[in-house]
Amino acid sequence: AVMADGGPPPLEPMPVFSDEGFADKFLRKTRENPLVPLGCLCTAGVLTYGLISFKRGNIRQSQLMMRARIVAQGFTFAALLGGMVVTAMKSR
């Protein structure tokens, strides 16, 4: 899709969200990719439970929760990448 004069094709205008506040942007991004906030909540929950287990002296449970945290972080990262791919495909 290169133009006849050899230059790049014209860019499509990006939507402008200048009057959008933090809450509006957060809700829009959550609607666009709901798995990322879900993964973040799961990661935070597992981390919290693991720290509580560690404080109580339940080392085995704490280690299990730290491993589960890694899995939850991986899920969150995969959801983030997936959302980026879907957004890139939509823009084409």
Domain range annotation of the chain: 60-91
Residue 3, pLDDT > 60, answer no
Secondary structure of residue 36 in the 3-state scheme: helix
Q: Which whole-number Å values give the CA distances from 40 to 27, 33, 44, 78, in the listed order? A: 15, 12, 6, 12
Residue type, 60: R
Tokens of 35: 């798995």
pLDDT, tens digit, for every residue of 5-54?
666 666 666 666 668 888 998 898 888 888 999 999 999 999 999 999 99
